[in-house]
Amino acid sequence: MRACLFLLVVLLFDCSAFPDSRSHARSMVISRYGIVATSYAQASVAGAEILRRGGSAVDAAIAANAVLGVAEPMMCGMGGDLFAIYWEAKSGKLYGINASGWAPRALTLEHFKDKGASSMPLSGVDAVTVPGAVAGWGALHERFGRLRWKDLFPPAIFYAEEGYPVPEIIHGYWQSSVDWISRDAESRRVFLPDGQAPAVGAVFRNPDLAKALRQVADEGPRAVYHGEIARAIVATSQSFGGTMAAEDLAEFAPEWVTPVSTTYRGWTIYELPPNGQGMAALEMLNIMETSRASPEGSLSVPELHKKIEAMKLAYADLYRYDADPRFHPVPVEGLVSKAYAAERATLISPAAANCDVSAGTPPGSDTTYLSVVDRQGNIVSLIQSNYDAFGSGITVHGMGFVLQNRGGLFSLDPSSPNVLAPRKRPFHTIIPAFMEHGDERIGFGIMGGPNQPVAHAQFVSNLVDYGMNLQAALENARFTVSPKMGCHIVIESRVKADVIEKLSSMGHQFEVEGEYSTAMGRGQAVMHDRKTKINYGASDPRADGSAEPEPPPI
């Protein structure tokens, strides 16, 4: 009896020491040193090691991105584009870089008219635009790098040459892309060993990519835009009857841009200006701010209804106005103004879904994401993509990477602001983001094509409206836009059935995905607290990645 009483006391004592239960599965990474958060754990580790060696946040981001190009070849790589936001802690300045490539000079409306095409293709050589990623790496490193350029690439070269075991989510994307890349003999040779996608845990090697990475390490970005890799890109394009010429690559340069911003309940949120879709996230937040957050919670009927309707309004404007501002004026200031948001918000019925949303009249004026914070508090928010999985489906001969299909987002309608033109940049989906309040600075992003603005807005609301920490805000159940548009919405099954049922009765039409659906994108986030000098990191469980702390200097 005494033994039983003693055991009961011990159990009660132990249980009383347990922390309260929580809604998210992972803890944040918290460190006095730097943190690298990516969608592939080994890429995060590679970036953290660069920080340990004294590298800057930009150095770590480039090293991690290069590894991601090896391990996630369907998502990103040297054949894709890049955007980034950089927070310089010492000066308090925020920088933006647009490294999205332009259309070849010979890729014209007449080119498609001669082919009898009525719309832009999403695959094949005519969807290929100049890859801007490596030029973006070079511009970032020249301005904010600390280590030597060549010292950033050994981890990526190692994984390309020696191989890596394919993780679960990456395998899933690979498997679903077999038909897409089977059309190209070089893609089949490089990415479908034994004629099929590598199995989970199978070691995949890409010696051609190792060779290309060595050239980039030795020669810098010049290798991609003037050297052997450039010649291989042009030769590959020509072999398919494409329009890419040597001067299209040689004359390309990324553009430094000023981020655009809005405020949301005391926080300032930053996105990059067009040709990306970041302004849609800001407009959506402005519309959401016109009414208070529901006290019933982030996944309640009134809160989800408000956000879904705000998304529709913002996306209608996005698709009407977004374009390359060098070719067509985009009314960004009007679209992200509070007055315009108030006007748009009046179109939201609290009781019914709007299935036919039109663009307003504002006043004039597949992908990988990573975030890095170094021990000084500098933050990189970087996103890089081939667009669709394996991009155009065309692999550069002998170089081991695919060319993006961003050109597929141009329009052939002469009245569209996004109409195809030589040396024009297409509408772009990939958007890095940044937010600040008081002493807190957060670099964040969530991948996934048109999902990104609505995912950003939900992440911000989770933090600001509902007090979630970085990890909880990333993990929280999300909804996203459906390709069917209108009232069609994709939502995760973690949203309660009775909530979905009530929203359905209001006119919303749901496609319910799994608990942690990749359709919601894969996010990362880092935060620096200027007062305490402590860094925080989070990584989305919808990916294979992690947030890795910089090892201590011992």
C-beta of residue 65 within 8 angstroms of C-beta of residue 365: no
Rounded to 10 degrees, the C-alpha dihedral 270/534/48/147 comes to 80
Say whether both 379 and 485 belong to one domain.
no
Nearest to 45 by CA among 156, 208, 200: 156
Residue spans of beta strands (DSSP E) within 44-173:
81-88, 93-99, 164-165
CA 392 to chain CA centroid, nearest Å? 18
Chain centroid to CA 103? 22
Distances (CA, A) of 466 to 470, 472, 493: 12, 10, 20
Domain's final residue, options 357, 377, 409: 409
The 8-class DSSP code of residue 554 comes to -
376, 409, 442 - which closes a domain: 409
Alpha-carbon gap, residue 501 to 180, rounded angstroms: 37
Residues 401, 77: contact at Cβ < 8 Å? yes
Cβ–Cβ < 8 Å for 387, 366: yes
Give the pLDDT of residue 365.
44
pLDDT values of the chain reduced to their tens digit, one per residue, 554 residues? 555 554 444 444 454 555 667 778 889 999 999 999 999 999 999 999 999 999 999 999 999 999 999 999 999 999 999 999 999 999 999 999 999 999 999 999 999 999 999 999 999 999 999 999 999 999 999 999 999 999 999 999 999 999 999 999 999 999 999 999 999 999 999 999 989 999 999 999 999 999 999 999 999 999 999 999 999 999 999 999 999 999 999 999 999 999 999 999 999 999 999 999 999 999 999 999 999 999 999 999 999 999 999 999 999 999 999 999 999 999 999 999 999 999 999 999 999 999 999 888 886 546 789 999 999 999 999 999 999 899 999 999 999 999 999 999 999 999 999 999 999 999 999 999 999 999 999 999 999 888 999 999 999 999 999 999 999 999 999 999 998 899 999 999 999 999 999 999 999 999 999 999 999 999 999 999 999 999 999 999 999 999 999 999 87
Q: What angle do CA 452, 455, 456 make, to 5 degrees?
A: 85
Same domain for 280 and 317? yes
Domain that holds residue 327: 258-365+429-549
- 153 lies in a domain? yes
Query: Same structural domain for residues 187 and 285?
Result: no
Residues 320 and 184 in one domain: no
Tell me whether residue 55 is in a domain. Answer: yes
Give the end of a domain, one of 379, 409, 439: 409
What is the predicted pLDDT for the residue at 21? 72
Instruction: Establish if 45 belongs to a structural domain.
Output: yes
Active-site pick, 38, 129, 367, 368: 367
pLDDT given at position 210? 98
CATH code of the domain covering residue 445: 3.60.20.40
Whether 449 and 496 share a structural domain: yes
Is 252 within 8 Å of 102 (Cβ atoms)?
yes
Q: Does 15 reside within a domain?
A: no
Closest CA to 131 of 181, 84, 62, 78: 78
Q: For the chain, how are helix, strand and coil distributed in percent, rounded to 5?
A: 40, 20, 45
The answer to whether residue 186 is domain-embedded is yes
Can you count the helices (H) and strands (E) in the chain? 20, 19
Is 416 a domain residue? Answer: no
Q: Contact, 232 vs 72, CB < 8 A?
A: no
324 and 436 share one domain:
yes
450 with 533, same domain: the answer is yes
Place of tokens 């024009």: 424
Residues 163 and 65 in one domain: yes
The answer, as to whether pTM is greater than 0.85, is: yes
Q: Using CA atoms, how far apart are residues 288 and 265, in angstroms rounded to an integer?
A: 10
Residues 169 and 237 in one domain: yes
Our count of domains for the chain comes to 2
Is residue 268 part of the annotated active site? The answer reads no
Is residue 30 a part of any domain in this protein? no
What is the C-alpha separation between 472 and 196, in angstroms, rounded?
A: 37
Looking at the structure, tell me whether residues 223 and 286 fall in a common domain: no
Whether residues 321 and 194 fall in one domain: no
Asked if residues 528 and 439 have their Cβ atoms less than 8 Å apart, the reply is no
pLDDT, position 315: 94
> Is there a single domain that holds both residue 170 and residue 157?
yes
- The pLDDT assigned to 362 comes to 83
Q: What is the pLDDT of residue 364?
A: 54
- Residue 437 is assigned to a structural domain of this protein: yes
Report the DSSP beta bridge partners of residue 511: 490
